[in-house]
Amino acid sequence: MPQARIAVVGAGLMGHGIAQVFALAGHDVAITDSFTGNLDTVKARITANLRDLGDDENAVERVRPIADLADAVRDADFIVEAIIEDLPLKQKLFADIEKHVRPDAILASNTSVIPITAIMQGLRERSRALGTHWWNPPYLVPLVEVIGTQWTSPQAIERTMKLHAAAGKQPAHVKKDVPGFIGNRLQHALWREAVSLVERGICDAETVDTVIKAAFGRRLAVLGPLENADMVGTDLTLAIHKTVLPAIDSRPGPSPYLEKLVTQGKLGFKSGEGFRRWSAEEQAALRSKVVQHLKKARANDEHL
Ligand SMILES: NC(=O)c1ccc[n+]([C@@H]2O[C@H](COP(=O)([O-])OP(=O)(O)OC[C@H]3O[C@@H](n4cnc5c(N)ncnc54)[C@H](O)[C@@H]3O)[C@@H](O)[C@H]2O)c1
């Protein structure tokens, strides 16, 4: 793919990682942030990641921190926003961006859960606006969901899919702008039942996680649920659903058990207790385990 000019708005956790992926793919990347402290450190953070991963550290030279939004987006072919998850802020940002960009530039939001339609509805030209939902850390998790709204042109989707595939990502087209897109709908369907099992006293939180990690979690990275259904047979899957689906949690809102944890200040790692208690050492060990696992998976992908 020819070198593109990318602009990333927001140099936080996601923004710096997205910039790193595009720079490593050979693109010129302008990055901006309203907090200059984050802009000042962005190249050092990217360099540290590249070094840790054994990737080409020279890629950081293609990243240009730019304080002024208009200057950062003016020449860009593709602009991706990764500022805080706040709808009015994102709407205002895209209205500002639209004033300065080229007519053929694509505008993308990396929102986790806000509908792309809500973010982009006030724009003058909505056919070039879409969602690109990356997963953390952007340089280790392959998927990017590419979300179109009712206004997004097929050309904008196609260009975005190609850009991300050429940068080594695995783009997935989400054809309708539904809350949670695909990944977070699936993930939180599982989390709802996980909370419910604890709430109903069927097992404790640690056991829920053990059952997943030691059973179907082992297969999930290589065997999706619908591949699995075909493997065991749709007839068997139907029979299982007839028995199991009426028994699992289908409440439309969050679990009262989860609400109670939050009310009690049991917020997880940040308060030292959530579903379970977490010492500082246990927190650090789990974070490190996840990163090591993702690094091994990436190395494995490279050998395939
Ligand atoms: N953290 C994740 O795991 C994850 C995963 C997928 C998507 N997302 C989404 O990505 C977006 C960014 O999340 P994050 O975790 O990187 O947040 P973050 O807080 O680490 O970074 C946000 C950055 O945006 C900057 N910012 C805030 N308002 C701005 C503005 N008006 N203009 C320019 N810069 C501004 C902040 O200074 C900060 O550097 C959010 O929409 C989030 O929901 C996060």
Please provide the DSSP assignment of 270-302 as one string. Answer: GGTBSSSB--HHHHHHHHHHHHHHHHHHHHHHH
pLDDT value, residue 250: 96
Q: What is the pLDDT of residues 127-144, one digit of tens each?
A: 999 999 999 999 999 999
Q: How far apart are CA 114 and CA 218, in angstroms?
A: 31
Q: How confident is the model at residue 1 (pLDDT cuts 50, 70, 90)?
A: low
Cα of 230 vs centre of ligand 1, distance in Å, is: 39
Residue 255: which residues within 8 A CB-CB, separation 6 or more?
192, 195, 196, 199, 249
Spatial contact of 123 and 129, defined as CB atoms under 8 Å apart: yes
Cα of 9 vs centre of ligand 1, distance in Å, is: 9
CA-proximal residue: ligand 1, atom 26 (nearest): 83
pLDDT value, residue 237: 98
What integer is the mean pLDDT of 231-238? 98
Mutate which of 14, 169, 269 for ligand 1? The one with the most ligand atoms within 8 Å of its CB, which is 14
pLDDT value, residue 90: 98
Q: How confident is the model at residue 301 (pLDDT cuts 50, 70, 90)?
A: confident
Report the pocket of ligand 1 as residue ranges, CB < 6 Å.
9-15, 33-35, 38, 82-85, 89, 93, 110-112, 134-136
pLDDT of residue 177 exceeding 70, the answer is yes
Cα of 231 vs centre of ligand 1, distance in Å, is: 40
Q: Is 15 exposed, middle or buried (0-12, 13-18, 19+ CB in 10 A)?
A: buried
pLDDT value, residue 193: 98
Spatial contact of 52 and 25, defined as CB atoms under 8 Å apart: no
Spatial contact of 188 and 180, defined as CB atoms under 8 Å apart: yes
CA-proximal residue: ligand 1, atom 24 (nearest): 83
Mutate which of 13, 49, 144 for ligand 1? The one with the most ligand atoms within 8 Å of its CB, which is 13
pLDDT value, residue 304: 67
* Helix-strand-coil split of the chain, %, nearest 5: 55, 15, 35
Minimum-distance ligand 1 atom for the alpha carbon of 11? 39
Minimum-distance ligand 1 atom for the alpha carbon of 38? 39
Strand partners for 31: 8, 65
Q: pTM of the predicted model, to two decimals?
A: 0.96
Percentage of the chain exceeding pLDDT 70: 99
Q: Please provide the average confidence, as pLDDT, over all residues in the chain.
A: 97
pLDDT value, residue 268: 98
Give me Rg for the CA atoms of the chain.
21
Minimum-distance ligand 1 atom for the alpha carbon of 113? 43
pLDDT value, residue 302: 82
Q: What is the pLDDT of residues 18-70, one digit of tens each?
A: 999 999 999 999 999 999 999 999 999 999 999 999 999 999 999 999 999 99
pLDDT value, residue 24: 98
Among residues 190, 79, 200, the alpha carbon closest in space to that of 129 is found at: 79
Q: How far apart are CA 29 and CA 3, in angstroms?
A: 10
Q: What is the pLDDT of residues 5-32, one digit of tens each?
A: 999 999 999 999 999 999 999 999 999 9
Cα of 16 vs centre of ligand 1, distance in Å, is: 10
Mutate which of 84, 114, 119, 188 for ligand 1? The one with the most ligand atoms within 8 Å of its CB, which is 84
Cα of 225 vs centre of ligand 1, distance in Å, is: 31
Minimum-distance ligand 1 atom for the alpha carbon of 109? 41
Q: How far apart are CA 64 and CA 179, in angstroms?
A: 33
